A = this chain, B = another copy of it.
Amino acid sequence: MSHTCLHERASKEEIEKGLKLQPKFDENGLIPCITTDVHTNEILMFAWMNKESLENTIATGKVTYFSRSRQKLWVKGESSGQVQWVKELRTDCDQDVILVKVDMGENGASCHNGYRSCFYRKFDENSKGLIFDGGDPLFDPDEVYKK
């Protein structure tokens, strides 16, 4: 990509108070990405991006992560059909995290287990364990990923 919106990191002042997108990629070239539902603010998933995936996300409007297990660019939905359309993109004070707010449609599911959100379990103080409360799966993973 010849034109990029990403700039080299400058001073702390510039990073925290400035108007340039200057993301910090870690020693593996990755930046954490939090993905939320633009309508409800619900957290859908958390994954990683490299420079190319962030540029691709901005250029195409489709969230593109970097898969650490497969070590390759991962356009969300390319296997599952569950595309995440970018409606807003943010970064934090020190620009070492990306936040994307997306539209996946009413029945979109982010999780590879078929749930709307990957965060389908919460910690329960009484049992000191997890309980499911993320609704029912919206697709059957065995069906979707069978190829």
Binding site for B on A (CB under 8 A): 5, 16-21, 32, 34, 36, 40-43, 45-46, 58, 88-93, 97, 99, 111-113, 115, 118-123, 127-131
Known: A19-B129, A19-B130, A130-B19. A91 touches B32 (CB 8 A): no
A34–B43 contact, CB under 8 A? yes
Oligomeric state, in copies: 2
Other than the known A36-B41, A90-B122, what 20 A-B pairs have Cβ atoms closer than 8 Å?
A5-B123, A16-B113, A17-B113, A19-B130, A19-B131, A21-B128, A21-B130, A34-B34, A34-B43, A41-B42, A45-B92, A88-B123, A89-B122, A90-B119, A90-B121, A90-B123, A91-B130, A93-B115, A97-B119, A99-B119
Tell me the minimal C-beta distance from A119 to chain B in angstroms. 4
Residues on B with beta carbons closer than 8 Å to the beta carbon of A115: 93
Alpha-carbon separation in the docked complex, A32 to B20 (Å): 25
Q: Which B residues touch A120, using CB under 8 A? A: 93
